[in-house]
């Protein structure tokens, strides 16, 4: 499985979008920033995960809609 994730840093109060094959490992790599996993999506295909990550990073409207869906999780 491949994962597209949305993580918020508790220290810097910024968000990070990415994709990985090992979500637990990637989360541990963010430990120095005290991350909070807000959302993730799972895909069988790496190509689908990369495409979704690209859309979230490149299209402001897509990330804006995701943030609207996660409105109360982001508080």
pLDDT above 90 for 5:
yes
Pairwise CA distance, residues 56 & 69, whole Å: 14
Is residue 33 within 8 A of residue 59, CB to CB? The reply is no
Structural fold of domain 2-69:
GIY-YIG endonuclease (3.40.1440)
Residue 9's SS3 state is strand
Predicted pLDDT of residue 9: 84
Averaged pLDDT, 22-26: 91
Q: What is the pLDDT of residues 29-46, one digit of tens each?
A: 887 778 888 899 999 999
Average pLDDT, the chain: 87
Biggest CA pair distance of the chain: 33
User: Domains of the chain: which residue ranges?
Assistant: 2-69
Tens-digit pLDDT profile for residues 50-66:
999 998 888 778 878 88
């Amino acid at each position: 499985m491949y994962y597209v994730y949305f993580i918020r840093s508790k220290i810097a109060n910024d968000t990070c979008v990415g994709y990985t094959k090992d979500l637990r490992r990637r989360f541990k790599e963010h430990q120095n920033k005290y991350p909070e996993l807000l959302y993730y999506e799972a895909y069988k295909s790496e190509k689908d995960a990369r495409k979704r990550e690209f859309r979230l990073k490149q299209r402001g409207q897509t990330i804006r809609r995701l943030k609207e869906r996660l409105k109360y999780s982001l508080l």
